[in-house]
Amino acid sequence: MILKHWQRRPSALSRQALAVYTMLVVYGSLYPFSGWRTLGIGPFAYLADPLPQYLTAFDVITNVLGYMPFGALVVLALYPRWRGALAAGMAFIGGAMLSGAMEAVQTYLPTRVASNLDLAANALGALLGAALTAPATSMLLDRGLLRRIRFMWFERDAAYMIGLSALWPFATMYPAPFLFAVGDLPRVLWQRVDPVMQEALLAWTPAAWSVAAWPAQLGAMLPDDGWETLITSLNLFAALVLATLPMRARAPRVRLLLGLVIAT
């Protein structure tokens, strides 16, 4: 079946997923965002470096696999404006540019080593992901099983909710329990407030409230394991409720929610 141009539909979910995955790549490449220093060399000097002495297949494969989803998402996000080899080429260029920029910035991080081999592996991964996805793009987005399930189980304007729910398993990944500082943000923001402003805010609240003593009082109510269980349960409950909002009545809610729990 050949689709006419007006029958080809862009995918908002693919564009959102691409934006989120790009942010994850940047986060993973530059973490922990501290200890910045200069070695007196240019950020792109690594391009002319010899290949690393100690090369492991695991590192190369990891770099290739890490950028394959990026390449696939670029192809899906560009559809239907760019398709086929053109979309795959754009994905390859985008992956190479993103990886090259990340390697250049890693020059200034003490815990990272900029590598031309990593750049090559990442670019190859983006190309492979794009090449595997390009032939199936129309089937996936226009007339495939995934599209039918998408509109059978979820509301038409549910792309944002689906994307947000899909982020939940990533937010619970070890060893970074607070992805993007989720869950720890109030403490971080409070510590960044000027001490004079902290005192002014505490003085503004009624003395009988004893706001400064709240953390210690709350901490004493339950053991650490108890608080961890409670907070994790509430977070999971909120994620599951959010995931049900865009579901249609005919959707297999229990199975979908169990899948989200298992992914977590």
Per-residue pLDDT reduced to its tens digit, 109-118: 988 888 999 9
pLDDT of 1 over the 50 cut: no
The domain of 199 spans 179-263
Q: List residues bridging with 154 in a β-sheet.
A: 247
Give pLDDT, residue 111.
84
For the chain, how big is the Rg over CA atoms in Å?
Answer: 23
Mean pLDDT on 87-107: 96
Give yes or no: residues 58 and 123 share one domain: yes
Give yes or no: residues 129 and 194 share one domain: no
Give pLDDT, residue 99.
96
Name the pTM for this structure: 0.67
User: In degrees to the nearest 10, what's the CA dihedral of 246, 252, 257, 259?
Assistant: -120
pLDDT of 156 over the 90 cut: no
Q: Assess if residue 61 is contained within a domain.
A: yes
Q: How many CA atoms lie within 13 A of 264 on its CB side?
A: 20
Q: Cis bond leading into 195, ω under 30°?
A: no
Give yes or no: residues 20 and 95 share one domain: yes
Compute the mean pLDDT over every residue in the chain, rounded to the nearest whole number: 82
Least confident of 32-46, 48-62, 74-88, 168-182: 168-182
Give yes or no: residues 43 and 132 share one domain: yes
Give pLDDT, residue 169.
72
135 Cβ contact list (under 8 Å, min separation 6): 84
Distance between CA atoms of 204 and 158, rounded to whole angstroms? 42
Q: How wide is the angle at C-alpha 74 spanned by C-alphas 72 and 79, nearest 5°?
A: 100
Q: Assess if residue 173 is contained within a domain.
A: no
pLDDT digits (tens, 9 = 90+) for 34-67: 888 888 888 999 988 887 777 788 889 999 999 9
**C-alpha separations of 69 from 32, 65, 74 in Å:** 23, 8, 9
Provide the b/e sequence for 28-51 (b: ≥16 CB within 10 Å): ebbeeeeeeeeeeeebeebeeeee
Give yes or no: residues 183 and 101 share one domain: no
Question: Using 50, 70 and 90 to split pLDDT, how confident is the model at 31?
Answer: confident
Give yes or no: residues 136 and 190 share one domain: no
Give pLDDT, residue 182.
54
